[in-house]
Amino acid sequence: MPNEEMLLIPGPTPVVDSIYEAMSQETRGHTDPRFAAVYKSAIEKTREMLKTDGEVFVISGSGTIAMEIALVNTVAAGERLLIISQGFFGDRFLHLARAFGIQADIIQSEWGKQVDPAAVEEKLASHSYKAVTLTHADTSTGVAADLNSLVPIIKKHGALVILDGVCATAAIEEDMSKSYDGGKIDVVLTGSQKAIGVPPGLAVVAFNETALAARQQMERVPAYYCDIYNWIPIMQDPQKYFATPPVNLIYAYDEGMRLVLAEGMEHRYKRHEAYGKAVRAALAEYGMKAIADENAAAATLSCILYPKGMDDAEFRASLAKKGVIVAGALAHLAGKAFRIGHMGNTTEDMLEQAVIRIGETTKELGFEADIQKAVTTFRELAMPVA
């Protein structure tokens, strides 16, 4: 089932044939040993991707459920949470914290910029926080968090690091075994439909030993479906039942993870880095500028400002007629920018086609575009990585 359109929104991302094929296998009972073996393998592959020996959870739900699982199992009502936000999805943790009576403080960057590590240091020195949330790539702005500078600061102050990898996991390094000046990332959460490249519907969360100890200290949590204690027995032995897993989606996810590991993590990180740079530089040739500073730009998606006077609805509709789907921008950037995903199973060829179609659309709307130049720029930077 080949795709008819290029779905270049920041998730869901293009799904490849082998994933569609895996997904359309016969639906088995969720406790059937043949299905359980696939589920087990999908969990193991996730563990391998994140390099964790803690617990990995792969369950029904979107990325937002993964955020909820991460939070309710680590921070109790009344405890303090620090949120480091580079945009709309970082801010979402504030809404979650409020829903669970968690006392949250937030440091927000200007949209397009990273949070200043000095501000984080200052905040952590002023209060003791149970956990700090980081949004690895904020999908509203295309800004990435600088883990190398933030994780050591947070760990020095003894807080848990909760990393929202919904638009990053499998594309930007998230290695739970890596030591950041002695500190490690404690929780990574993601969804199936972004940089992993599987249809939407799965929440993926990994807890290390420190995060599991935080859950243990809490005794009870204000959740049932999202209580990891209800899921640990299933993750260890998928033939057991707690709530019915989405059998066909697990088939798809297992195949998606096979592709991720077969490509190799280092290759994926380099490939995404190259795609991000190439797409932004190519679009800049049309007078379209990313809102993120280039040194803070995410490898997985870009939020691109329109040239003055270009109409958002008209641009996206014309582009869609050419088979390329991009997303509008969020909040105060709505109408002023569009967002293009370049992650997961997108290819160099697809992105080059997108650059061409965007150039054609730009011209149709009465603006100038040197398509040949943009393609040359794209090719120089998107060179296949060895």
Interface with ligand PLP includes 18 (CB under 6 A)?
Answer: no
68, 192 contact by CB (below 8 A): no
Instruction: CB nearer to ligand PLP: give 69 or 120.
Output: 69
Peptide bond into 14 cis (omega under 30): no
User: CB of residue 82 vs ligand PLP: minimum separation in angstroms?
Assistant: 17
CA distance 252 to 22: 5
**Hey, which residues does 135 pair with through a beta bridge?**
164
Instruction: CB nearer to ligand PLP: give 168 or 356.
Output: 168
User: CB of residue 88 vs ligand PLP: minimum separation in angstroms?
Assistant: 8
Instruction: CB nearer to ligand PLP: give 159 or 204.
Output: 204
The type of residue at 43 is I
Interface with ligand PLP includes 60 (CB under 6 A)?
Answer: no
Secondary structure of residue 229 in the 3-state scheme: helix
User: CB of residue 24 vs ligand PLP: minimum separation in angstroms?
Assistant: 22
Interface with ligand PLP includes 11 (CB under 6 A)?
Answer: yes
CA distance 220 to 182: 30
Instruction: CB nearer to ligand PLP: give 191 or 197.
Output: 191
CA distance 272 to 269: 5
**Hey, which residues does 81 pair with through a beta bridge?**
104, 131
Interface with ligand PLP includes 89 (CB under 6 A)?
Answer: yes
Instruction: CB nearer to ligand PLP: give 346 or 361.
Output: 346
Token digits of residue 49: 């991707």
User: CB of residue 164 vs ligand PLP: minimum separation in angstroms?
Assistant: 5
Which range binds ligand PLP by CB under 6 A, 62-70, 176-184, 336-344, 346-354? 62-70
Which stretches of the chain are DSSP H helices? 17-23, 33-50, 63-72, 88-99, 117-126, 147-156, 209-217, 228-236, 247-263, 265-284, 312-321, 348-364, 371-382
Residue nearest to ligand PLP (CB): 63
- Binders of ligand PLP among residues 182 to 221 (CB under 6 A) are 191
Give the one residue of 8, 9, 50, 63 binding ligand PLP; rule: CB under 6 A: 63
Token digits of residue 216: 């243990």
Give the one residue of 18, 25, 41, 62 binding ligand PLP; rule: CB under 6 A: 62
User: CB of residue 142 vs ligand PLP: minimum separation in angstroms?
Assistant: 10
CA distance 260 to 283: 28
CA distance 374 to 174: 32
User: CB of residue 358 vs ligand PLP: minimum separation in angstroms?
Assistant: 22
Interface with ligand PLP includes 84 (CB under 6 A)?
Answer: no
User: CB of residue 158 vs ligand PLP: minimum separation in angstroms?
Assistant: 25
CA distance 188 to 70: 8
CA distance 103 to 357: 47
194, 164 contact by CB (below 8 A): no
User: CB of residue 216 vs ligand PLP: minimum separation in angstroms?
Assistant: 26
Instruction: CB nearer to ligand PLP: give 145 or 247.
Output: 145
User: What phi and psi, each to the nearest 5 degrees, are found at residue 111?
Assistant: -60, 130
> One symbol per residue from 108 to 147: x for binding ligand PLP (CB under 6 A), - otherwise; what is it?
---------------------------x--xx--------
Q: Which residues have a Cβ under 8 Å from the Cβ of 295 and sit 6 or more positions away?
A: none
> One symbol per residue from 155 to 184: x for binding ligand PLP (CB under 6 A), - otherwise; what is it?
---------x-xx-----------------
Tell me the number of residues near ligand PLP by CB under 6 A: 12
Instruction: CB nearer to ligand PLP: give 19 or 281.
Output: 19
**Sign, CA torsion 135/137/140/142:** positive
User: CB of residue 166 vs ligand PLP: minimum separation in angstroms?
Assistant: 3
- Euclidean distance between the first and the last CA atom of the chain, given in angstroms as a whole number: 30
Which stretches of 240-305 are DSSP H helices? 247-263, 265-284
> One symbol per residue from 319 to 358: x for binding ligand PLP (CB under 6 A), - otherwise; what is it?
----------------------------------------
Question: What is the binding site for ligand PLP (CB under 6 A)?
Answer: 11, 62-64, 89, 135, 138-139, 164, 166-167, 191
